[in-house]
Structure 1
Amino acid sequence: MNKPLLISILISYLLGLPIGLLTIVGTLWTPILFTGEGLLSIAIIAGYGWPTLGLALSFLVALGIGAKVAYDHLGHGKSLLFSSFVYSTVVNFIIWATFCLVLLFTVEDSFLLLFPAILALLFCTIVTTFTIGLLITYLIERTVAKLN
């Protein structure tokens, strides 16, 4: 594996992992912050506990794959915004597909619970394209340009 690709994957992990994991934890803690009670957070964990764990674990794999895809797109002269969109789409699709698969196999009658996950996929892809995904692809582009 070449050095610029390894650095691109490292950038993805160094920026994406803490922000992603803090987002997961923050989502679980949000009901506690607004209501002062943990009952809704307990209900979220009871309903989505195993799928959320699958999402967090698949996030480790998705960041590496997303960085490889962004590196390839930027190397082929694609625009920064398009590369950010592709990076965000790949990462979010992997984590939310894992979430849905674990949900289908662990929760009985889970088809209605898939609807929020699909909305989350769309929302997260759009938001991360213009925020952390754009920052990561920008840093990948700058790093690769300096090394070449």
Structure 2
Amino acid sequence: MLRSGSVRRRHATRGMTLVEVLVAAMILGIAAGGAVASWGWASKAAANKRATEIGYALCVSEVERLKAIRYPYLSPSAIVSGAPVPSIRWFDKYGSWLGSGATTGAFRVETIVTVLIDRDNTANSEDLKEVVVETWDGNRTKMYDRARTLLTFGGV
């Protein structure tokens, strides 16, 4: 009798039951699903961060480009129905300019130049222009950045 009892104990501890295997498989499946979901979320967050950083850099770059043109050579935006019409420059997903003939791209940079002060209709140090630059995605659904600066004719 002693012998058969020890055999039973040995058989009971030898392997895993079907319930244990199913529980282990379920836990492994939940962990794998969570890992896949978090990987997708992390990849999306990195892509959004890259797009935001490129949008910001394009906005700053465009403001600096317009400031380098200098006040006398920077034409104000056209006015249609009482509102200024922005000039649009297109850039690819890496931030490279797509050329003057481009009509679409990953980033859309809109620029509006308005004359704020021109007291005597003569170009002099009393004149002031406002430059507004906005960076959007290609579909103009998400704005990444907006920058404003003032330019004077003769400097201050």
TM-score by length of 1: 0.31
Tell me which structure has the larger Cα radius of gyration: 2
Higher helix residue share: 1
Higher strand residue share: 2
TM-score by length of 2: 0.30
